[in-house]
Amino acid sequence: MEVILLERIAKLGQMGDVVRVRDGYARNYLLRQGKALRATEANRKRFEAERAQLEARNLETKREAEAVAARLDGQSFVLIRQAAESGALYGSVTARDIAEAATQGGFSITRGQVQIDRPVKELGLHQIVIALHPEVSATITINVARSPEEAEIQASGRSVADVRAEEEQAGEFAIAELFDDLGGATQEDDGPIVDIDSRAEEQPRI
């Protein structure tokens, strides 16, 4: 099906372009969401008549998106989830979850604006692109952790596994020091070693 784009569509074209797309994609997405018109003669004339208004409206929404992007870009949002020791989540973090976290953080984001190919299924920091406008986007970080404490560790640039390894190493070092201290104390308590035979020889004979 040929359609007239009413806004820029990534990897497809700019506003006003006439492009050929699959019928299902046109009906279920482009036409339904008002992003395109069927490329009929009547719609071509309609687009040309309304082009100035469409471009003005697009410019206004772009400016609004840029203002939001200036505040949103670089923001980090924490999502607490249960996970195995390996870091694999019991479940996943979806576009809806990310949109809700950003909205709770003071930004009005819809799941359709969250650009992820597949749900997040592991603990850690994940970079997510938010499409605020066909020509404007922002990148946020979602910090997926099992607790607020773990989220703080990850936000500092360290992984939970690294912290555990450091704690285990510190524990082993403390145990080694304890045994060294005990060994030193035992030697001090024993006192000097005396040769019994030599003492017997030094005794005067009667």
Confidence of residue 206 (pLDDT cuts 50, 70, 90): very low
Domain with CATH 3.10.430.100 in the chain: 76-160
What's the whole-number average pLDDT of the chain? 86
pLDDT above 90 (res 111): yes
- Average pLDDT over every residue of 190-203: 54
- Average pLDDT over every residue of 42-47: 95
Domain range 76-160, its CATH number among 1.10.357.10, 2.40.30.10, 3.40.50.970, 3.10.430.100: 3.10.430.100
- Average pLDDT over every residue of 144-153: 95
Whether the CB-CB separation of 68 and 107 falls below 8 Å is answered with: yes
- Can you give the pLDDT at residue 178? 64
> 161 or 124, which is more confident?
124
- Can you give the pLDDT at residue 202? 54
The residues near 105 (Cβ < 8 Å, ≥ 6 apart) are 75, 77
Least confident segment among 59-68, 121-130, 160-169, 191-200: 191-200
Domain with CATH 3.40.5.10 in the chain: 2-71
- Can you give the pLDDT at residue 175? 63
- Can you give the pLDDT at residue 168? 66
Report how far apart, in Å, the C-alpha atoms of 51 and of each of 31, 46, 76, 90, 135 are: 17, 8, 38, 50, 18
pLDDT above 80 (res 114): yes
pLDDT above 50 (res 2): yes
> 204 or 165, which is more confident?
165
Q: What are residue 21's phi and psi, to 5 degrees? A: -135, 170
pLDDT above 60 (res 186): no
The encoded tokens of residue 39 equal: 């490329």
Whole-model pTM above 0.75?
no
pLDDT above 50 (res 45): yes
Amino acid at 86: S
Closest CA to 115 of 101, 136, 129: 129
pLDDT above 70 (res 42): yes
Question: Which superfamily does 2-71 belong to?
Answer: Ribosomal protein L9, N-terminal domain (3.40.5.10)
Least confident segment among 71-85, 132-146, 153-167: 153-167
Residues 21 and 16: their CA atoms lie apart, in Å, by 15
